[in-house]
Amino acid sequence: MRVITLLTKEGKTRYMLLDHNNEPVQPVLHYLKFKDNSGASRNTLRSFSYHLKLFFEFLEQINKDYRDIGIDEMADFMRWLQNPHQDVKVTPIFPKQPIRKAKTVNIIINTVLGFYDYLMRHEDYSIQLTERLKKQVSGSYKGFKSFLHHINKNKSFTSHILKLKVPKQQPKTLSKDQIALIMNACVNIRDQFLIQLLWESSMRIGEALTLWLEDFEVDARKIHIRDRGELFNLAEIKTVCSPRSIDVSEDLINMYFDYIAQFHTDEVDTNHVFIKLSGENKGQPLEYTDVVALVQRLRDRTGIYFTPHMLRHTSLTELRKAGWRDEHLMNRAGHAHIQTTMQMYIHPSDEDIRKDWENAQERMKINKENKENNE
């Protein structure tokens, strides 16, 4: 099984799953086409392709047709996803760390269930696997109380019974000193500007790569993130809530001017802000793979492990510590729900909790009588 990349007549990048005979896996081909026509993003289609690749590899190992799968096989698939050997015939003697986190396993399982839901509605598929893996639960499917909770609290929602518990984890962040070291390790103004932008604006790397020159409103010191669909460099914004305007500092605008003056010369035939600086594709829009290579170089130079998304997490966390209101953080992050912002970025560190305790401990003292003196 392997996933190949295709280029459509419209110039869009799409994906196809091939079997061991290099033939398209037809049900997956139809499902991906359906999701594509339904408006799924390129990254989503890519993820679905690799998730279903894992599932069909598992089917090959157990010698089962995708139409003969039931609850027990899906439970075995969940266990297989965590098996370091990725082989149904091999079981570790000693406990080993699962090769995939619980959250990743749940995402893959949901992809497979979505695939079977499509089959159930599209073909004469009598097993109805997705219906058998659902249960009715009272409360809110969102995991938090909504504005109309008092009306909906007695209603039920559908939940999958095949799901791993996901431990709560705080987003990983960087210190300001670490960010300074990373910026100082950059060898050109473009790389410095990109790191400063991600740190200061809290935007996603995909949003940064979609920026055009006209998105910078320099007089107002604003950056406008706009939805332009899938672009030439395969960058696109994440959600319908992503388009927004972000206030930035004068220093960042000055860095933007310096970068544009040095590298956006008359020979550059694109209005993408971030471009390649060398090689045969010099002057073309920067791509995800270029950013991955840049981050790896900066890791090697500084010894600091980081990702572009960690800069976003750090930025929003610092803004929260600075006293930003939840609704302002939600807008800057481009989230659809304020609960997402609160759950992800309102996470005090041990040092924060210690400082708050030191400030509050005087109020916690109780005047007690000294029995020895009274006696």
Give the residue numbers marked as catalytic: 204, 238, 309, 312, 335, 345
**Other residues' Cβ atoms within 10 Å of the Cβ of residue 222:** 14
DSSP-assigned beta bridge partners for residue 335 = none
Cα 63 versus chain centre, distance: 34
The kind and range of the H/E element at 224 are: strand 222-225
Token readout for 164 is 């791993």
Contact between residue 262 and residue 189 where contact means Cβ atoms under 8 Å apart: yes
Contact between residue 198 and residue 208 where contact means Cβ atoms under 8 Å apart: yes
Instruction: Report d(CA 189, CA 179) in Å as an integer.
Output: 15
The b/e string for 326-354 (b: 16+ C-beta within 10 A; e otherwise) is eeebbbbbbbeebbebbebbebeeeeeee
Instruction: Report d(CA 28, CA 122) in Å as an integer.
Output: 13
Token readout for 129 is 């696997």
DSSP-assigned beta bridge partners for residue 3 = 17
Instruction: Report d(CA 277, CA 290) in Å as an integer.
Output: 11
Instruction: Report d(CA 68, CA 66) in Å as an integer.
Output: 6
Task: Quote the DSSP letter at residue 369.
Answer: -
DSSP-assigned beta bridge partners for residue 198 = none
- Residue 237 phi/psi, 5-degree rounding, is -75, 165
Task: Quote the DSSP letter at residue 9.
Answer: T
